[in-house]
Amino acid sequence: AQRVTQPEKLLSVFKGAPVELKCNYSYSGSPELFWYVQYSRQRLQLLLRHISRESIKGFTADLNKGETSFHLKKPFAQEEDSAMYYCALSGPGAQKLVFGQGTRLTINP
């Protein structure tokens, strides 16, 4: 079964502190993993995907196949990072996205 688990519904950190949003997945095969972000009253936007291995807005995520995890990290949080973050997976070529529950990240000044 395809499943994405984000164990934290809410996460609150202070500005300048490190951030880690957890994501674990279940998939038989080689999925493609994504992080989407939704700022207040805006659309879902792709933040990053594991195959590109790039850093967007200071965020990085490493796919750990042994632990079936794809945690999102940022060393120094900024107030504009406050948003809803969704981890998602898809199978190769299928492009149907399976989303986690989402984590609401709040950065306190």
Partner 1 sequence: EPEVTQTPSHQVTQMGQEVILRCVPISNHLYFYWYRQILGQKVEFLVSFYNNEISEKSEIFDDQFSVERPDGSNFTLKIRSTKLEDSAMYFCATWEGISGNTIYFGEGSWLTVV
Q: Which residues of the shown chain bind partner 1 in the complex (CB under 8 A)?
A: 36, 42-46, 51, 86, 88, 93-102
Q: Shortest gap between Cβ of 10 and partner 1 (angstroms)?
A: 12
Nearer to partner 1, 19 or 98 (CB): 98
Q: How far is the CB of 101 from partner 1 (least distance, A)?
A: 5
CA atoms of 10 and 58, how far apart (whole Å):
20
Q: What minimum distance in Å lies between the beta carbon of 14 and partner 1?
A: 26
Q: Distance between CA 44 and CA 11 in Å, rounded?
A: 19
Complex with partner 1: residue 13 or 84, whichever CB lies closer: 84
Specify the residue for token string 């590109």.
52
Shortest Å, Cβ 17 to partner 1: 27
Residues 97 and 33: their CA atoms lie apart, in Å, by 9
For residue 89, count other CB atoms closer than 10 A to its CB: 22
The residue (of 72 and 98) whose beta carbon lies closer to partner 1 is 98
- In angstroms, the first-to-last Cα distance of the chain is 41
